[in-house]
Copies of this chain bind each other. A is one copy, B any other.
């Protein structure tokens, strides 16, 4: 087998297609973009030639010339985190179905880094930006990103956020409040009265919403939500461990710990095991999200399920639709998944 010589044929260009089809570049361009103003006969010929040559438009030239992009940006906290990787999976899957590519950036929950990432995505002229990850309770913390995203939208870009943000854009809204209520109601229904919450950073709207749902359920049961201990820590396994330690030390009579995500719940379980506290016999534990491993923890975790992958897909589909006069809101459902980490108090 002979390798072809220097004739490393670069990929065919529009001018090659146009020439071969005997039309001008303008016509070829129109034909391939399925824009009208070209006779069906000519258009078909151009498309045939393009296919024959294996022509694929250079997206850089196309974008530079003001055409449409088919690359979306996705901002996640950390793609290695299961919550975000499941969302990303939904976005990437939906994007592929529509012939789009997805560019991923880490934000590591630093809101100024977030703005910088958006700037990079804008510079890359992505057609849409999906922001996964929680918004902030305080609008001021989002001001910089908001400005950047606004500019992007004004310039014709599409923005969809997952979670509650202070941004004028379409949003996929996980039902954090409803999910929290159902988890809390489950524990209250089992008879728990001395519960404690292991929460992520208080400035995240996700944390605020989940906490709100729990408090609402507590109130609905005729109890005082003010009496509910809440320990704040990072939204991670380690955060869950340290917060659980504080709960044990400061509130010894606690019979149930509600972690505000599964990563923290994992840490809680880990620490309780280490301290010899039996779950659910001594203390019940609940999580949030239902990441894939929740079912395999020891004991299998009772948790509120959010459809992460579906949320990602929905966000992308939303991004594909033209911007509406008023921002769209797509609420998601939630489910209570009862497993082995909850039981009536002793």
Contacts and interface: CB of A to CB of B under 8 A. Distances in A.
A93 interface: yes
A155 B10 contact: yes
A137 interface: no
Given A59-B125, A60-B125, A96-B105, A119 B71 contact: no
Nearest to A309: B80
Contact of A80 (B56, B58, B71, B88): B88
Interface stretch (A252-260, A291-299, A316-324): A291-299
A86 B80 contact: yes
Interface string A84-120: 0110110011001000011111100000000000011
A8 B157 CA distance: 13
A5 to B, nearest CB: 11
A292 B293 CA distance: 10
Nearest to A308: B80
Given A9-B151, A151-B9, A298-B299, A123 B92 contact: no
Copy tally for this chain in the complex stands at 2
Nearest to A61: B64
B124 A106 contact: no
A85 B93 contact: no
Contacts of A296: 237, 266, 269-270, 293, 297-298
Nearest to A8: B154
A282 interface: no
A71 B124 CA distance: 9
A314 B234 CA distance: 28
Contacts of A102: 103-105
A303 to B, nearest CB: 14
A82 interface: yes
A32 interface: no
B71 A79 contact: no
A82 to B, nearest CB: 7
Given A64-B64, A92-B106, 20 more contacts: A8-B154, A9-B151, A11-B123, A56-B119, A58-B125, A59-B60, A60-B60, A60-B63, A78-B89, A79-B79, A80-B85, A80-B88, A81-B85, A82-B293, A102-B103, A102-B104, A266-B296, A293-B293, A293-B296, A296-B297
Interface of A: 8-11, 54, 56-61, 63-64, 71, 78-82, 85-86, 88-89, 92-93, 96, 101-106, 119-125, 151, 154-155, 237, 266, 269-270, 292-293, 295-299, 309
